[in-house]
Structure 1
Amino acid sequence: MNPRFETLHFETPNLLLRPRTLEHFEACIAMDLDPLVTRYVPGPWDGGRAHRDFVRSRIERDFGESCGYWAIFAKSAPDEFLGWVSFIPYDAVGPELEMGWRLVQRAWGRGIASEAAGRIVEHAFLGAGVERIVADAHALNEASLGVARKLGFRFVRDGEFEGLPSKFFEMSRADFVARGR
């Protein structure tokens, strides 16, 4: 992990966003083991070696000075892991930069994903100075599709990600500025 990334802590009116570290490893594994959380996400979500290696590699990887994963906590319960939000190269390789989010079930339907990801969108355009970010979600994942739309991502196309039907979105700096953020 990039040492400069470790200093990127953010707050929103209700949330604390901290760089995701190995301290959050077991909470991430537990979240992924919930089949409702990962039902639309391809991956090795069985708690086995491939799953654990994948999560560890994503936590330890240096995605660049302004990019990475942030663990999400409510200000009212600052030690209770609610999920994560990410801003990394697309599919961890790029060249595009993508936003992502995943929450534990008890955090669903409360606006947490939108609030956390909205703060990272601000970071992407105002702090990191990027010109464009992308996001995608399984075509049937209405909650994630709703978050993307609420944040101001524009639908670009239907397609596939790892063989699954997906919807692809983007947001430019001009889109961000036009929304008055």
Structure 2
Amino acid sequence: MILETERLWLRPRTMDDLDDCFAMDCQPGVTDFVKGPWADADEHRGFISDRIRMDYGKGLGYWSLFAKTAPDRFIGWVLLIPEDAKGPEIEIGWRLKPESWGRGYATEAAKTLLCHGFDNVKLPGMVACIDHRNAGSIAVARKIGMVRRNEVANDVLYAMTADEFAASIVT
């Protein structure tokens, strides 16, 4: 399912996006606060490939982001998947190329995915587990209406229930 915002196209991520995802992850600052196999190129590519091929369930997965002004240029991705690909919580997340930071793209795409998750998939809630040092992602979580629920080690858990989402639309 292709999703659209005022400035972005969000389309399901495919193997055609592997090189763009890998190149983005290798840019300074992109994976600083994210656990993963980033140090070994083969493991890193395998991780991305596995995530692309995985079936997360109806209406869930990764969406690659493209600005409408440059529809062939990958700028990042958003996700709506079982937390850490295992669950049971459903996680919302985002990752963008550094040249796309600070333009509101992550917030715009995440809001669209939030609406998709609650309106179309009928999720009871979503979480975002963010390293406490990642000020940019924390700001996105707050801007889309998620509420800080807990902190464990270096991670801060932001969450939103379907009821909270519905109330935020009314107010």
1:49 offset after TM fit, Å? Answer: 1.2
Point out where structure 2 has 5 or more consecutive residues left out of the alignment: none
Give secondary structure in 2 for the equivalent of 1:180.
helix
Q: Which residue of 2 aligns with 1:19?
A: 12
1:66 offset after TM fit, Å? Answer: 0.9
Q: Which residue of 2 aligns with 1:3?
A: none
Could you list the per-position Cα deviations for residues 126-173 of structure 1 after superposition, in whole angstroms to 9, with x for gaps in the alignment?
00001111111110100000000000111001113xxxx011011001
Q: Which residue of 1 aligns with 2:37?
A: 44
TM-score by length of structure 2 reads: 0.97
Whole-angstrom distance in 2 between the partners of 1:47 and 1:104: 20
Give secondary structure in 1 for the equivalent of 2:48.
helix
Q: Which residue of 2 aligns with 1:142?
A: 135
Give secondary structure in 2 for the equivalent of 1:79.
coil
Residue identity opposite 1:75 in structure 2: K
Whole-angstrom distance in 2 between the partners of 1:53 and 1:35: 20
Could you list the per-position Cα deviations for residues 91-130 of structure 1 after superposition, in whole angstroms to 9, with x for gaps in the alignment?
0000110101000001000000000011000000000001
Give secondary structure in 2 for the equivalent of 1:31.
helix
TM-score by length of structure 1 reads: 0.92
The list of structure 1 runs, each at least 4 consecutive aligned residues, that deviate by more than 4 angstroms after superposition, is none
1:35 offset after TM fit, Å? Answer: 2.8
Whole-angstrom distance in 1 between the partners of 2:39 and 2:12: 24
The count of corresponding residues between Structure 1 and Structure 2 is 170
Contact 1:84/1:101 (<8 A) preserved = yes
Q: Which residue of 2 aligns with 1:169?
A: 158
Contact 1:29/1:47 (<8 A) preserved = no
Residue identity opposite 1:124 in structure 2: G
Residue identity opposite 2:47 in structure 1: F
Q: Which residue of 2 aligns with 1:127?
A: 120
Could you list the per-position Cα deviations for residues 20-42 of structure 1 after superposition, in whole angstroms to 9, with x for gaps in the alignment?
00111000000011131111111
Q: Which of 42, 67, 81 is equivalent to 2:60?
A: 67
Q: Which residue of 1 aligns with 2:27?
A: 34
Could you list the per-position Cα deviations for residues 31-73 of structure 1 after superposition, in whole angstroms to 9, with x for gaps in the alignment?
0111311111111224611101100000011000110000000
